[in-house]
Amino acid sequence: MTTSERIIVTVRTYPVISQKYMETVCTGGITDQGEWRRLFPVPLRYLEPERQYNTFDVVEVKVQPGKDTRPESRTPTIASLRVVAHVSSWTQRRDWIEKTSFLSLDEVTAAGRSLAPVRVREVLEFIAEPGAAQWTASQTEKLKQGDLFVERKALEKIPFDFRFRWIDGAGKEYNSHVIAWEFGETWRQYRLKYPDPVTVMRDKWMNDLCSSHRDVLFFMGNNNRFRDQFYVCGIFGPPKQKESDGTLW
């Protein structure tokens, strides 16, 4: 059954090459009813400019269950998608997000969830593992394939696999692959500005975005085929709030 939902976008993954859809961006977010959604497929860069959403935009879209049986997954009707608002303040973002969070990744799996925010006690290490600098032959072939009506856009290969070594709110340590859009885009921008973009990225996340001065949550999502494998699909890091006496919590 098709329903219309209002969703705040909290997760966008780096684009994946697709033969059927040109490319896809897995999108995650929370409905105004407090339910998590995974929207797929979305050819984000191929949408009209006014419908290309950013993180913390609120979208309205018609969705229905698809082949993906994970509880949060829905197939969007792309023609119905429209951006209706942007949530700019940390307080409003907290109102949407924090009530849906889990203390630990074990709690997420025990609840049968495949996409949810998890409390981060500490980020121990930012890891950038060198990866392939070029697309595979199969991926390159797909990139050459266009459409009668749409020209395929160039998609840069990120030559690193980014990971976080981190401890969740229950004290369990993980080494998780990061697939968030922001990581790929930051590397693309920094490689033009800095001789060592990875070092600057490491400083940005370890000393600012994931530092002890922030209440960090990782948006953890699993793999459809291998559902015990969870990835960092996005990061929520509002500045720590202060109590009335001025202490941080």
Segment 7-57, tens digit of pLDDT: 999 999 999 888 777 888 999 999 999 999 999 999 999 999 999 999 999
What pLDDT, on a 0 to 100 scale, did the predictor assign at position 177? 97
72 & 107 share domain = no
pLDDT, mean of residues 205-225: 96
The residue-averaged pLDDT of 147-162 equals 85
Residue 230 within a domain: yes
Which of the listed residues 28, 60, 90 is the one where a domain comes to its end? Answer: 90
Give domain status of residue 245, yes or no.
no
Q: Residue 129: its pLDDT value, please?
A: 96
- In whole angstroms, give the CA distance from residue 223 to residue 221: 7
CATH classification of the domain holding 27: 2.40.50.730
> Do 134 and 82 belong together in one domain?
no
Report pLDDT for 236. Answer: 98
Residue 12 vs residues 72, 82, 140, 184: alpha-carbon distances, Å: 15, 16, 23, 11
Q: Is 247 contained in some domain? A: no
- What is the percentage of the chain residues whose pLDDT exceeds 70? 95
What pLDDT is recorded for position 147?
Answer: 65
Query: Model confidence over 73-121: pLDDT tens digits?
Result: 999 999 999 999 999 999 999 999 999 999 999 999 999 999 999 999 9
User: Do 154 and 85 belong together in one domain?
Assistant: no
Q: Does residue 74 lie in a domain region?
A: yes
Choose the weakest-confidence range: 117-121, 214-218, 225-229, 233-237: 225-229
Q: How far apart are the first and last CA of the chain?
A: 43
Clarify whether residues 26 and 121 are in a common domain. no
3-state secondary structure of 96: helix
Domain closes at, from 90, 111, 139:
90
pLDDT reported for residue 243 = 45
pTM of the model: 0.92
Domain encompassing residue 63: 3-90
Contact (CB, 8 A) for 84 and 23: no
Q: Tell me the chain's radius of gyration from C-alpha atoms.
A: 18
Q: Strand pairing of 36-39 and 73-86?
A: parallel
**Same domain assignment for residues 162 and 189:** yes
Residue 249 pLDDT > 60: no
Q: How many domains does the chain have?
A: 2
